Amino acid sequence: MLHKRNLALVSRRWHEYAEPLLYSVIWIFCSRQARALRHALVGGSSPRFLPLSTTTGTNAGRFVRQLYISISEPSTVKDVHTILKYALQLEVYSVDRTASCGPPGCMLRPALKRCRRLRCLRWSNYEDPSLARMSLELRGCMGLEYLELTGAKPPSVADMVTPPSGGSLILPKLHTLKVAHDNLTIYDTTFLALSTWKMPALRHLIVTAPDFSCATEEGFTALLRVHGVSLQQLELSVSFQDEFYVPITRTRTTTPPAEFDAQALSAWCPQLQVFICSADSDWDWGNPDLIAPHVLLATHPTVESIGIRGIDKWLWDNSAQCEQDLFAALDDQIRYFLSREAFPSLRYIRDMSRDSDLIRRGIWPWRRRPEDVMPENFQRDLVLRFWDDFLCKCSGEGLELQDWLGRKITPDPEQQSTRRLCELIR
């Protein structure tokens, strides 16, 4: 941003060239930045953050395409309202942690009302959980393609009993829906509300939660029964990265819910091609067949690719106990993916962790390790040997092992030779 600003200050002509780049993507982390942007858009000056626009405020605002707000100061509400008034061409709008920013929905309604070209909406709300109210405000966003909802409270019963006027919400272009909750369970009423929406283009569904004890509830099953028939990619993952949001002790579900049919997900999602899960450290090691690859998906006839998140976290969390039997348990768990009876169409297995890829290639990201993990306690040979063995098993079954970028993982002859030499020296 500083480099873009310096280019814009060279001359008026350079400013005209740099202005679209300067305003296209904007991040706001404090009230001072919001105030500076508001002054720039209405024609004022704030040289510390943004250069003075040589055009009118409206023309400067038309360059804003992506706006990301991560702030909880109430004083920014009016500034954001003014910014949205000028940013009529806004396509991506992301608001995070707005519980203290004022009345419920104060940061959302102006964007939905004015920005009709909105394609991507990320809404993290820890105070107003009303999906029924949001469905009324989303009616004008017919071009919405990506929607992400994060919250800590369930929609109220009153919101669920009173249906929005005018029938169900219709989002004809929405292809990706992500729902993340930071509480102990994903609330059934949230899924029940989403099941009433009409999303004919929905192809990707992402559900992130501390556990999946909600699987037997009416809302979860209703959501998959209504929208599962069109899904091509489904992610049911544990919220590793979001655990710091709410300081609550969580108990994860390590066995399938008693009333859940392991075959139900296959029937609800007949066109599923990609399934993504987490390498949960609370997997049931004693009975690995019960929850491989997930407590809710034991088999599927059309899945071609399975992605695994959090393998790096599993390695870090268990580094102090990295013994051969522990890796044998992980090997048994992941080996279930190779079962042709469970997944007859499977072609790819993807490790979706960047750090895990670095570890596999012999690069050790020590700076990102947990504080209680020391380099001398991390047994590298076991990790590398595990990946070598798993790669051989995938090749033997005709499967392709991929890294987090989708690139094919192949044995590194130089690393293998070095490893064998070290073993001989020992």
Least confident of 165-174, 368-377, 379-388, 417-426: 417-426
26 DSSP β-pair partners: 67
Q: How far is CA 379 from the centre of its chain?
A: 30
Determine the pLDDT at residue 410: 83
Tokens of 319: 């580094």
Cis peptide before 375 (omega within 30 of 0): no
Length in residues, the chain? 426
In angstroms, rounded to a whole number, what is the distance separating the alpha carbons of residues 56 and 102? 30
Q: Which of 127-131, 244-248, 288-292, 326-330 has the highest mean pLDDT?
A: 326-330
Q: In this structure, how many other beta carbons lie within 10 angstroms of the beta carbon of residue 330?
A: 20
d(CA 24, CA 37): 12
Of the candidates 345, 212, 179, 348, the one whose C-alpha atom is nearest the C-alpha of residue 270 is 345
11: alpha, beta or left? (left if phi > 0; alpha if psi -120 to 50): beta
Stretch among 185-189, 313-317, 322-326 having the lowest mean pLDDT? 322-326
Give the C-alpha separation, 399 to 305, whole Å: 10
CA distance 192 to 224: 10
The answer to whether residues 140 and 114 touch, using CB atoms and an 8 Å cutoff, is no
DSSP sequence for 213-255: GGGGSHHHHHHHHHHGGG-SEEEEEE-STTTTSS--------S
- Cα–Cα distance, 115 to 251 (Å, whole number): 41
User: Residue 291 to residues 130, 306, 322: CA-CA distances in angstroms?
Assistant: 33, 14, 22
- Which amino acid does the sequence have at 375? P
What residue type is assigned to position 421 of the chain?
Answer: L
pLDDT of 166 > 60? The answer is no
Amino acid occupying residue 262: A
Neighbouring residues of 372: CB distance < 8 A, sequence distance ≥ 6:
320
Question: What per-residue confidence (pLDDT) applies to 55?
Answer: 44
Give CA angle at 389 (386, 391), nearest 5°. 105
Question: Is a pLDDT exceeding 60 seen at residue 120?
Answer: yes
Distance CA 156, CA 142 (A): 26
Q: Which residues contact 400 (CB under 8 A, 6 or more apart)?
A: 347, 348, 349, 394, 408
Average pLDDT over residues 17-38: 86
What does the pLDDT look like over 175-185, one tens digit per residue? Answer: 999 988 765 44
Distance of alpha carbon 128 from the chain centroid: 21
DSSP secondary structure, 259-288, as one string: T--TTHHHHH-TT--EEEEE--TT--TTSG
Q: Average pLDDT, stretch 258-280?
A: 79
Q: Are 250 and 211 in contact (CB under 8 A)?
A: yes
**Higher pLDDT among residues 410 and 162, named by residue:** 410
pLDDT at 40: 84
Query: What's the pLDDT score for residue 281?
Result: 44
Whether the link from the prior residue into 74 is cis, omega within 30° of 0, is no
pLDDT band at 335 (very low <50, low <70, confident <90, very high): confident
Q: Two tokens at 17? A: 């060239």
Q: How confident is the model at residue 102 (pLDDT cuts 50, 70, 90)?
A: low
Average pLDDT over residues 111-120: 80
Q: What is the pLDDT of residue 256?
A: 46
Residue 351 clears pLDDT 50, i.e. is over it: yes
The pLDDT value recorded for residue 191 is 83
Element spanning 37, H or E: helix 31-42
What are the tokens at 304?
């071609």
